[in-house]
Amino acid sequence: MNNPLVVVLAYDGLCTFEFGVAVEIFGLARPEMGENWYRFAVAGVDQGELCATGGVRLVVDGGLELLDQAGTIVVPGWRGAETPVPAALCHRLVAAHQRGARVMSICSGVFVLAAAGLLDHRQATTHWRYTDLLQQRYPAIQVTPDVLYIDNGDVLTSAGSAAGIDLCLHLVRRDYGSVAANQVARRLVVSPHRDGGQAQFIQQAVPVAYEGHRLGSLFDHLHTHLAAPHSVASLAAFVGMSPRTFLRRFAATTGSTPAQWLLNARLARCQDLLENSALSLERIAELAGFGSVATLRHHFKHHFTTTPAAYRKRFAEPGAKSA
């Protein structure tokens, strides 16, 4: 990539947390990332000095004309799900998207993309409080309520505020690889990867004894034995639970099924090995627990919309070792 420009929108009534997420991930100088890291600008939807939530006042870099130069446009939470979106903003977003810009929303920012027609006949998500309203007002959108984010390639949407961090890190991972995304996550002191399909919230807290000991030891075991076959019965036996209790506790702790958790962990292992080793695809498939290159390719292409070979070519570290 060659210094792609990320433009984030600002407006009166701006949601400061979502705006801050975009600034933190795309707007900070990161010399450790080299010369091709993102450029960043703030585009004002409204004229003059803007007043954000909490009384914060903003002076922006420019107006909507900045969208004409953007490679990625970030729409933070909008000032109200029922608040009309200016026609001028919709026109600029459509023009930028048609030119090839990626457009992404955080939380209620999805209503801006919806008003612009960029989500018609696509999957999209938003904060669980707004999913019913979004579906009612824009029936052409395939609203998926219980996920963290959805990546349609050129249009991306995320759930509530913190899910914006996950989506932004996902975009960094797409653009620069998992090593770069992990470095950014480390500075943020957040988990480097939560899969977009993970549930937005967990209904019931799990006792510390289960999280800190029984399931905690299971996660450690799985990370060091990804190549081994695992079943619900074997995992339940490892933590001394019945299969039914285990599935309930696992879902309450992770918001996921054991099979989905294992798949995500194995794909993350593949990313690491593709970036940081010269191992053959056969060996990577074996170490990650996929068993065959065909199975690895199938899941990798479905999850990342690229092949393992193409991913390696783009993100492999110079001098990656074969063992």
**Cα distance between residue 235 and residue 191, in whole Å:** 24
Q: Which of 182, 161, 187, 160 is nearest to 170 (CA)?
A: 182
Amino acid at 288: A
| DSSP character string of 19-36 | HHHHIIIIIS--GGG-TT
List the catalytic residue out of 15, 107, 168, 270: 107
Residue 107 annotated as catalytic = yes
Record the tokens describing residue 288, joined without a space: 């990650």
What Å distances lie between residue 19 and 97, 126, 215, CA to CA?
Answer: 21, 16, 35
Helix (H, G, I), strand (E, B) or coil at 4: coil
Size of the chain in residues: 323
Pairing type for strands 123-124 and 102-105 reads unpaired
- 143: number of Cβ within 10 Å: 22
Closest to 194 in 3D by CA, of 156, 214, 221, 164: 164
Q: Which residues are catalytic?
A: 107
